[in-house]
Amino acid sequence: MTAPLVCAQAIDAPGPATARDGRVFQIYQFTPETMPHIDGKNSDWDRVPAAYRCGTAELNDTEDGHGTDIDTNDIDVQVTLGWVKGLNRLYVLYEAYDDFWDFERFNPEGYLNDIFELVVDGDLSGGPFIYNPLVPEARKWGASAAHVRNHLAFSGYHAQNYHIFTPPVRGSWTLIWGSQPWIATFPYAHRAYSFDGRQGEAGKLTLEFWVTPYDYAPVDGPELAKESRLVENKLIGLSWSVLDFDGGKRDGHYNLSHDTRMVANASYLCAFRLMPLERDQVPDFRADWSFSLIENREQTVAFRDESVGDIESWYWDFGNGDFSTEQHPLYQYPESGVHYNVTLEITGAGKSDKKTRFWEVMIP
């Protein structure tokens, strides 16, 4: 890997009480047209500026003695995060060089191989999410089924921990440290790898994946789960660790949080902001709009123009023969219990564009 890129341009404005003194890192916004294809290749990420890329220089080995003095000839990693408006998914590109890839074995410490450990707290709620301090029995771990149930009873409900195998082995790509292994399966997650190394040798790995963050992810399954809603400028909690093993011995536990308590307590995660589109992602001229029902005014809808460009006129077709030329019209429908196809057409500077939402405007 080339000289490590770091989040040197990360936002340093005051943030929540999270790791790294409240420093706020950035998550790049893709458009639906440019979002990554999960194929284990990094070309989809070429458009992402260096300010979004977190390299080895951001990590700290807080357990195995390296500190921040990490030899990039030993291990060198880079993590880039993305999101798409309207999709509650976090996209991750993990690129890693290791001078000794260790996998296809089960070592005494209980790890299958080299690990990329990702922890996500989608609503930045913080607090312990592996052991519940109010349930002492949940801290017990042993061979019995009762101990296993107690240990996992509340794990991962409000923040999720993914022990991702690099590379995957025995048909598995990640171990969920929690009570809900379903979060690692499609359609709640997806992944792809490319890898050029062999056991005990140096090599480079590219891991591309997305996961769905949850405010509530119970053992019962996705039917009762609540996805974390990802919206522009929202802060979420997130951090990662790289567990490097060389020949059955752990060579480092490098983490972005600079505190290994991040693996079990979301208060030790870093703050990340879901960023607006970069300028090169914003079209010159595009129609777009949103709507909301007005409380205490029957059958009344507030339409909001969210178009982009040098706009001279707006034409709203409310789907029932009525129309408006206001930019942000307020309209009372004469009928209830009906779905409407509403269209906004914009014109300006010799251009025009339309955006229709089919059956989305429903009048209760």
Render pLDDT for 131-166 as a digit per residue (tens, 0 to 9).
766 666 655 555 555 555 555 667 889 999 999 999
Residue 267, Cβ neighbours under 10 Å: how many? 20
pLDDT at 40 over 80: yes
Specify the pairing of strand 75-84 against strand 60-61. Answer: unpaired
In a domain, 13, yes or no: no
Dihedral sign from CA coordinates of 213, 271, 57, 111:
negative
pLDDT at 241 over 60: yes
pLDDT at 8 over 50: no
Contact 187, 147 (CB under 8 A): no
166 and 274 co-located in one domain? yes
In a domain, 329, yes or no: yes
Task: Provide the domain count of the chain.
Answer: 2
- CATH value at residue 340: 2.60.40.10
Map tokens 């700290």 to a residue.
Answer: 60
Among 246, 279, 312, give the residue marking a domain's end. 279
Whole-number pLDDT of residue 311: 96
Among 257, 279, 301, give the residue marking a domain's end. 279
Q: Is residue 242 helix, strand or coil?
A: strand
290 and 256 co-located in one domain? no
Among 256, 279, 302, give the residue marking a domain's end. 279
Task: Indicate the range of 7-21, 63-77, 128-142 predicted with least confidence.
Answer: 7-21
- CA of 96: how far to CAs of 165, 310, 342, in Å? 12, 44, 48
Dihedrals φ, ψ of 136, to 5°? -55, -35
* Residue 250 token pair: 């752990």
Query: Mean pLDDT throughout 63-83?
Result: 93
Task: Indicate the range of 122-136, 254-268, 288-302 predicted with least confidence.
Answer: 122-136
Query: Mean pLDDT throughout 343-362?
Result: 95
143 and 67 co-located in one domain? yes
95 and 208 co-located in one domain? yes
Map tokens 């997130």 to a residue.
Answer: 238
In a domain, 12, yes or no: no
pLDDT at 235 over 60: yes
Dihedrals φ, ψ of 313, to 5°? -150, 155
Distance CA 270, CA 289 (A): 33
Whole-number pLDDT of residue 7: 57
- CA of 334: how far to CAs of 19, 27, 81, 331, in Å? 53, 43, 46, 10
In a domain, 2, yes or no: no
Structural domain containing residue 321: 283-363
pLDDT at 12 over 50: no
Whole-number pLDDT of residue 4: 39
Distance CA 92, CA 38 (A): 10
Residue 193: how many CA atoms within 13 Å on its side-chain side? 17
Q: Is residue 154 helix, strand or coil?
A: coil
